[in-house]
């Protein structure tokens, strides 16, 4: 009958009169232990209910089977969903995750990356974060790193990302095809490669149809709902306004729409909106945002696969997986009508 006591590998070795190394080899199925002794050790371990400590086992290999996830804001449903799918996929490979939530703070992000190195984590997945990392810094980390929805100038890293230029382009094209000619944009973080590429896609769509971009129609956001709410007040205080807006993510769009609902502004009658992410809340009745899907489940699966591949094959060729954005048309856009 199994005891409720938690035994250590030293206890097992002492009770059987063998070395700790012998017990370890027997339980791990490695060579150096005869079949009869191996069977005896395994049977005894099962009898007393001994289970190896996974942390201790992994530390003997120089790392723990934990992958760090570094991102900007755990309250953002996009990051929560992405974390869910990455964790689910990594668990199938025997890894758990450690979350580093940095609230888009450069110093906190840098500390998180350094902590991951100090803890000897198996790898590190960096989401859409804002640190300017140099190639030398990445090499000095001596830890597998995967970038998710983020690009750097150099190529020696694995990444999975949305085609964010195309995302900005097709979002803008949708509004142009509806007849809108003056289209504004609420950006995300200014240093983010995602923001930069979507903004370039937006500008290219306007250029394609010889439409003028007006600087006063560009707003700086921070990807948070409160900021979307504040910008809406600023936007509707102006007499001359665009007839349509792109908004950097669904959270800001929901905050923007919340202000509109409070002040009797009808969307899309008075303003058409397109945002990015396609979080679950964007489909809620009363909001039903037209948005760009980031293929979050596929993105999470691919990120986990790249991480495991990099851990197991450290010298493998680097891969960049680019996902195609998808326009999800709901109820926040309509054909342009003269007011």
Mean per-residue pLDDT of the chain: 87
Phi, psi of 108 (to 5 degrees): -65, -40
Question: For 309-323, how does the pLDDT look when each residue is reduced to its tens digit (9 = 90+)?
Answer: 998 888 899 999 999
Q: CA distances (Å), 289 to each of 156, 238, 247, 259, 330, in order? A: 37, 24, 11, 15, 6
Mean pLDDT of 258-274: 96
Instruction: Report the chain's terminal Cα–Cα distance, integer Å.
Output: 81
Q: Is the pLDDT of residue 273 over 90?
A: yes
Check the CA dihedral 32-36-41-45 and report its sign.
positive
Q: Which residues of 22-36 are buried (b: 16+ CB within 10 A; e: fewer)?
A: bbbbbbeeeeebeee
Question: For 56-81, how does the pLDDT look when each residue is reduced to its tens digit (9 = 90+)?
Answer: 555 445 567 899 998 878 888 888 89
Nearest alpha-carbon partner for 97 in 125, 62, 55: 125
**Quick one: pLDDT band at residue 264, thresholds 50, 70, 90?**
very high
* Helices and strands counted in the chain (H then E): 12, 12
Residue 56: beta bridge partners?
A: none
Contact of 157 with 141, CB cutoff 8 Å: no
Q: What is the pLDDT of residue 27?
A: 75
**Quick one: pLDDT band at residue 47, thresholds 50, 70, 90?**
confident
CA 169, CA 162: separation in Å to the nearest integer? 13
For the record, the structure tokens of 148 come out as 């998710």
For the record, the structure tokens of 36 come out as 């009869």
DSSP-derived secondary structure letter, 248: S
Question: For 173-190, how does the pLDDT look when each residue is reduced to its tens digit (9 = 90+)?
Answer: 999 999 999 999 999 888
Location of structure tokens 């996974």: 54
Question: For 200-243, how does the pLDDT look when each residue is reduced to its tens digit (9 = 90+)?
Answer: 999 999 999 999 999 999 999 999 999 999 999 999 999 999 99
Q: What is the pLDDT of residue 72?
A: 79
Mean pLDDT of 167-176: 98
Contacts of 62 (CB under 8 A, 6+ apart): 120
Report which secondary-structure segment, H or E, holds 220: strand 218-220
Q: What is the pLDDT of residue 196?
A: 92
3-state secondary structure of 321: strand
Question: For 117-139, how does the pLDDT look when each residue is reduced to its tens digit (9 = 90+)?
Answer: 778 888 999 886 555 555 556 66
Question: For 328-338, how does the pLDDT look when each residue is reduced to its tens digit (9 = 90+)?
Answer: 999 999 999 88
Nearest alpha-carbon partner for 307 in 159, 112, 118, 138: 159
Question: Count of residues for the chain?
Answer: 339
Q: What is the pLDDT of residue 324?
A: 96
Report which secondary-structure segment, H or E, holds 329: none
**Quick one: pLDDT band at residue 53, thresholds 50, 70, 90?**
low
Max CA distance (Å), the chain? 90
Q: What is the pLDDT of residue 1?
A: 44
Q: What is the pLDDT of residue 20?
A: 75
Among 13-17, 184-188, 296-300, the range scoring the smallest mean pLDDT is 13-17
Give start and end residues of each alpha helix (H) in the chain.
Answer: 9-16, 20-28, 35-48, 54-60, 77-92, 106-118, 135-141, 164-177, 193-208, 225-236, 250-262, 296-312
Nearest alpha-carbon partner for 70 in 27, 29, 20, 105: 105
Of residues 117 and 166, more confidently modeled: 166
Q: What is the pLDDT of residue 54?
A: 53
**Quick one: pLDDT band at residue 43, thresholds 50, 70, 90?**
confident
């Amino acid at each position: 009958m199994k005891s409720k006591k938690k035994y250590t590998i030293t206890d097992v070795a002492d009770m059987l009169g063998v070395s700790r190394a012998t017990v370890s080899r027997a339980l791990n199925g490695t060579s150096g232990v005869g079949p009869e002794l191996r069977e005896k050790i395994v049977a005894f371990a099962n009898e007393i209910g001994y289970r190896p400590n996974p942390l201790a086992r992994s530390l003997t290999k120089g790392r723990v089977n934990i992958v760090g996830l570094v991102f900007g804001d755990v309250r953002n449903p996009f990051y929560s969903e992405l974390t869910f799918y990455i964790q689910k996929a990594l668990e199938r490979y025997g890894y758990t995750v450690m979350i580093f939530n940095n609230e888009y703070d450069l110093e906190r992000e840098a500390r998180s990356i350094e902590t991951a190195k100090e803890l000897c984590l198996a790898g590190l997945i960096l989401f859409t974060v804002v640190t300017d990392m140099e190639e030398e810094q990445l090499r000095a980390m001596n830890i597998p790193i995967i970038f998710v929805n983020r690009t750097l100038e150099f190529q020696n890293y694995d990444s999975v990302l949305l085609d964010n230029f195309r995302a900005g382009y097709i979002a803008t094209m949708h509004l142009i095809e509806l007849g809108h000619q003056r289209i504004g944009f609420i950006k995300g973080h200014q240093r983010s490669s995602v923001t930069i590429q979507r903004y370039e896609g937006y500008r290219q769509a306007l250029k394609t149809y010889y439409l003028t971009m007006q600087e006063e129609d560009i707003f700086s956001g921070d990807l948070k709902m409160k900021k979307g709410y504040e910008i809406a007040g600023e936007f509707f205080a102006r007499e001359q306004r665009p007839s349509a807006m792109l908004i950097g993510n669904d959270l800001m769009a929901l905050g923007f729409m919340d202000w509109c609902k409070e002040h009797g502004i009808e969307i899309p009658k008075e303003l058409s909106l397109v945002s990015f992410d396609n979080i679950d809340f964007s489909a809620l009745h009363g909001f039903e945002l037209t948005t760009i899907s980031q293929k979050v489940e596929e993105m999470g699966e691919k990120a986990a696969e790249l991480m495991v591949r990099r851990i197991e094959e450290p010298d493998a060729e680097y891969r960049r997986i680019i996902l195609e954005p998808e326009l999800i048309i709901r109820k926040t856009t309509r054909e342009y009508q003269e007011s």
